[in-house]
Structure 1
């Protein structure tokens, strides 16, 4: 009974999903595949598809969405468009239909999802967002759609903001958002025993530890960033989902002390790192060059001393690592990446894809730098983590396998 580590707990297709606005011209709006030959809808000119098959599959929704999109001067935000699609699905009678008919054993429909409508009504910020969304629908669907009552719209809105999944691409980058009926049954823990991964728009939930019970009440995903402090996690969970986490990680200060420690450094060092993080984020928004971002990170890192597990330092090193990769400063990227490897292992849950991604990137860098034995070790470890958390068919698993085969072939020749 239950699920073994690496086994599939459930798979699901989205009840509704939308591609993030910044990717709408780069990826198919239905299957999310990246393509250089996307064709946009000839009518609204605001959705792109990789081909006729995907356009036809999306037409059930888009035929009612399309005339509304034509009226909107600019492309709606991701949340507004998802809200519109959920309302259309409700109007088509899909809210009461169990979607995962071929998947076992959890059958849920959109109506089963929690909305917390009462809490949203008393939440000034969320209620204001609902009023904006409500006004958006009323304005742009007038004469096109006969919308349900405001109470129903509030219920749909609540289910959207409480249950939305962020959909990651083959490189673990967020590219879309969607509602998945069955996976929404899974609760949160900061140290989860399961991980959700995506292949296209399909979500797969896998166990990352052995789970003795076959009850979904014993399966937990993490809703928040593991590199967030307890205070940050609790604030996000309360604001987004209206609950306070009491899991073992939140009840103990062991990890928290490591994340917040300034031992060996000073509060001034911590302030410098936080200021540098703010500066780097501003530089990224301004689309400044990766070389300038790397230079900014390097300067700050050379001036401070903090424990390797200090989460603000980990975040800054991560920014520098990404900038070094983009700048093709591969030796610098390896130097920064290896500094974050042990902190990642310590602060992330077991078999986290983020840790696997770090191992895989370090292995790739070592292979490029000609350090074959070290490369093999890191690639094997990355593959081990990915095989459990992402499954054997995932793009990253195949990519790491290819790199490992290349590495082992070069080792034989050397």
Structure 2
């Protein structure tokens, strides 16, 4: 029987302000503003924390690794602390620190590696044990410790000679001071830090803490495991130079705590002002994406996709009453512009009802999807929402994961197969999520002895994931390649 870890694909970026938790990304979180993101260029580089694998002036090919970087600091999500190592993040048997009884390690080596910061953090965690420390509070604590130990001198290199330090990242201090949500979040975190750190001399004043907080929330990356589950939050200095686009030409992936940036398109040369990753979930309308970017990163997106009116039209399209017509129909029209089929009041009402019900149920299923509810929404959508309507695709995605969770393999295959064209359209041909979807479909097909289909999907998944993750990534070596070899061998 195939086994899956639940994929929470790069979305769920909303900050849980009242619970004092960090924003989590099924993609990456960072800041923008080209004219203010100037890194330091140096005559010599310390490459211990970062390697740039592409050189200025050299053409970059799809799949080239542009950057490899270790984190400035990172925090394992609290919900995983008893099942993953606090240092290497591996899911394995772990043993707790006997002093604070809060963090867990897989080995003596990992404990020793983590001791540099943990020896200072340990009494703070012990002080409030058995309380669970919000991830954002622990992250702030570790940044404060790191800076106190000379971390402000640490550089993250994004070329051989150009680097960024923690203070080079934008703090968005003015925006945060005028943002009631963020101020409330910061206030709750400050209370936790006071409980943890007491009157420690390393605790910064509120102004400095606000600047640290601003750099964290707009530059933090969610570290993802091979199945694209968010497991930790980290700050990477060098890659913070990278700006956002809703049509990125590069992606961030992870091997343990190490971040890799790979090109997913050919690029003329290594010019970081022309290299873009996505900070947010792309399976949303331009209005939704812009609102999220403005709320969380303080900029208004003017990328090609957000300024294309056709993008919104297609994402919210209705299905034409003529089943042979593939038009992205505006439900407010009286007739289909392609085939002239009429739009009846019943069709318009059914479309609006399906959209409303779907949005309500998906909002209620943010944490866990229920197969029966997903199937109810899909039944309401049938014949009224276009197959590439974004809300239909979100429902299919939730249904696919829910079917996997309850081992309904035939239904999972149906949902997953129907989902592929939408992922390809809105994520693009070279996105990790498309690769992971094809891998999962192929895995189910292999289990069900659909060997030809499994081989085809696993080969396509391999083609994509070699570009987005690199040929040596553990996802390919430990999972995909053995499955593909099995499918080929059994079909011979």
**Normalising to structure 2: TM-score of the pair?**
0.79
When structure 1 is superposed on structure 2, of 260-269 and 398-407 the one drifting more is 260-269
1:260-279 matches, cutoff 5 A: 260-264=316-320, 266-279=351-364
Using the alignment, how far apart are the partners of 1:97 and 1:162 within structure 2?
19
CA contact (8 A) 2:319 2:387 kept: no
Using the alignment, how far apart are the partners of 1:134 and 1:96 within structure 2?
25
When structure 1 is superposed on structure 2, of 323-332 and 120-129 the one drifting more is 120-129
Q: Does 1:253 align with 2:280?
A: no
Using the alignment, how far apart are the partners of 2:309 and 2:74 within structure 1?
38
Using the alignment, how far apart are the partners of 2:409 and 2:160 within structure 1?
45
Residue aligned with 1:167, SS: strand
Using the alignment, how far apart are the partners of 1:279 and 1:131 within structure 2?
28
Using the alignment, how far apart are the partners of 1:349 and 1:112 within structure 2?
32
- In the TM superposition, what is the alpha-carbon distance from 1:276 to its structure 2 partner? 2.7
Residue aligned with 1:107, SS: strand
When residues 333 and 148 of structure 1 are mapped into structure 2, their CA distance, relative to the original with a 3 A threshold, is: same
- Equivalent in the alignment of 1:39: 95
Using the alignment, how far apart are the partners of 1:149 and 1:304 within structure 2?
54
Using the alignment, how far apart are the partners of 1:84 and 1:251 within structure 2?
40
Query: Relative contact order, CA 8 A, sep 6+: which one is greater?
Result: 2
Using the alignment, how far apart are the partners of 2:373 and 2:365 within structure 1?
7
Alignment root-mean-square deviation, CA: 1.7
Residue aligned with 1:312, SS: helix
Using the alignment, how far apart are the partners of 1:261 and 1:280 within structure 2?
23
Q: Does 1:296 align with 2:373?
A: yes
Query: Residue by residue, what CA displacement relative to the aligned partner does 1:196-253 show, whole Å, maximum 9, x if unpaired?
Result: 0000000000000011132111110000101011111111111111101100000102
1 or 2, which has the higher helix percentage?
1
When residues 192 and 99 of structure 1 are mapped into structure 2, their CA distance, relative to the original with a 3 A threshold, is: closer
Task: State which of 414, 420, 430 in structure 2 corresponds to 1:335.
Answer: 414
Q: Does 1:346 align with 2:403?
A: no
List alignment gaps of at least 5 residues for structure 2: 1-57, 321-346
Q: Does 1:218 align with 2:274?
A: yes
CA contact (8 A) 1:190 1:250 kept: yes
CA contact (8 A) 2:144 2:202 kept: no
Q: Does 1:167 align with 2:223?
A: yes
- In the TM superposition, what is the alpha-carbon distance from 1:126 to its structure 2 partner? 1.3
- Equivalent in the alignment of 2:34: none
- Equivalent in the alignment of 2:394: 315
When residues 325 and 121 of structure 1 are mapped into structure 2, their CA distance, relative to the original with a 3 A threshold, is: same
When residues 20 and 194 of structure 1 are mapped into structure 2, their CA distance, relative to the original with a 3 A threshold, is: same
- In the TM superposition, what is the alpha-carbon distance from 1:139 to its structure 2 partner? 3.6
Using the alignment, how far apart are the partners of 1:47 and 1:2 within structure 2?
45
When residues 210 and 89 of structure 1 are mapped into structure 2, their CA distance, relative to the original with a 3 A threshold, is: same
Q: Does 1:382 align with 2:461?
A: yes
- In the TM superposition, what is the alpha-carbon distance from 1:338 to its structure 2 partner? 0.6
Residue aligned with 2:456, SS: helix
Using the alignment, how far apart are the partners of 2:316 and 2:94 within structure 1?
46
Number of matched pairs: 402
- In the TM superposition, what is the alpha-carbon distance from 1:99 to its structure 2 partner? 4.4
1:10-409 matches, cutoff 5 A: 10-35=67-92, 37-73=93-129, 74-99=131-156, 104-264=160-320, 266-281=351-366, 284=368, 293-305=370-382, 306-398=385-477, 399-409=479-489
Query: Residue by residue, what CA displacement relative to the aligned partner does 1:263-288 show, whole Å, maximum 9, x if unpaired?
Result: 34611121222233234347x3xxxx
Task: State which of 34, 45, 60 in structure 2 corresponds to 1:3.
Answer: 60
Query: Residue by residue, what CA displacement relative to the aligned partner does 1:138-168 show, whole Å, maximum 9, x if unpaired?
Result: 3431244432333222211111111000110
CA contact (8 A) 1:194 1:206 kept: yes
Using the alignment, how far apart are the partners of 1:220 and 1:70 within structure 2?
41
CA contact (8 A) 1:255 1:347 kept: no
- Equivalent in the alignment of 2:17: none
